[in-house]
Amino acid sequence: MKFINKVVLVTGGSRGIGKAAAAAFAAEGASVIVNYHTNKTAAEETLAQLNPAGKHMIYQCDAADSAETEKMIGHINSVYGKIDVAIINAGIAITHKIAEVDFNTWQDTWAKVLGVNLIGPANIMYLTARAMMKTGGGKIVAVSSRGAYRGEPDEPAYGASKAGLNSLCQSMAKALAPYKIYVSAVAPGWIVTDLAERYLNGPGGEDIKNQSPLKRAGTPEEVANAILYLASDGSEYTTGAILDVNGASYFR
């Protein structure tokens, strides 16, 4: 198995893409740490589906809180002795149309979204990279978005945060290469998750699906397969890459 004896952290790992990634790494022999923020029930359900039992764990942490993140990385190192792979998946999107929200809401939304989607990942990259430097290297894969390139007029903070995340990954790919730490990202389009369900099943759902010539949204497992590749041994020359997983719905 590709990841036997590897330790893998998945932030936002209790649902959607994170859950599929956790399952994919566990199936390949990894010890998986499923990070979650508030939904402990979902995290426990995800943990129960990972085999073999007893090898994995869940950990509650607000990915936007630097102190909590530092404690989580320290705990993982104390339990497993290393982190081989970090999947940075936790993220939020909040609608804040510029013509409809007041200035306080505008500012509050930007602070919240950037805190989770960009500052949080920067902190996790720092902490996991410092741990990886002591153990000979590792892989970091972030979950970005097609919205980083095409623009998100109803959720501009989300689009900007993902564009920043792409730049962060590429900056860190250069900075960390001498330490044998490889950094990349996936940029999904519409994926069938709990968060996307209300859009996919709503009145505009068919139009969303038809953005792709495949006439459907992607699955979390398809994104997880891309993450698995980027984190695998032998993918080192893809460091700095942003891999589109959008069903040919958007080209750049």
Domains of the chain and CATH, by start: 7-245 (3.40.50.720)
**pLDDT over 90 at 53, yes or no:** no
User: Which range among 41-55, 68-82, 107-121, 133-147 shows the weakest confidence by mean pLDDT?
Assistant: 41-55
pTM score of the predicted model: 0.96
Of the pLDDT bands very low, low, confident and very high (cuts 50, 70, 90), residue 1 is confident
Residue numbers annotated as active site: 158
**pLDDT over 80 at 245, yes or no:** yes
pLDDT of residue 246: 97
Of the pLDDT bands very low, low, confident and very high (cuts 50, 70, 90), residue 244 is very high
Q: Mean pLDDT across the chain, nearest whole number?
A: 96
**pLDDT over 90 at 194, yes or no:** no
Residue with tokens 């630097």: 66
127-142: average pLDDT = 98
Residue with tokens 């990259």: 125
**Amino acid letter for position 105:** T
- For residue range 145-172, list pLDDT tens digits in order: 999 999 999 999 999 999 999 999 999 9
Cβ-contact 192, 220 below 8 angstroms: yes
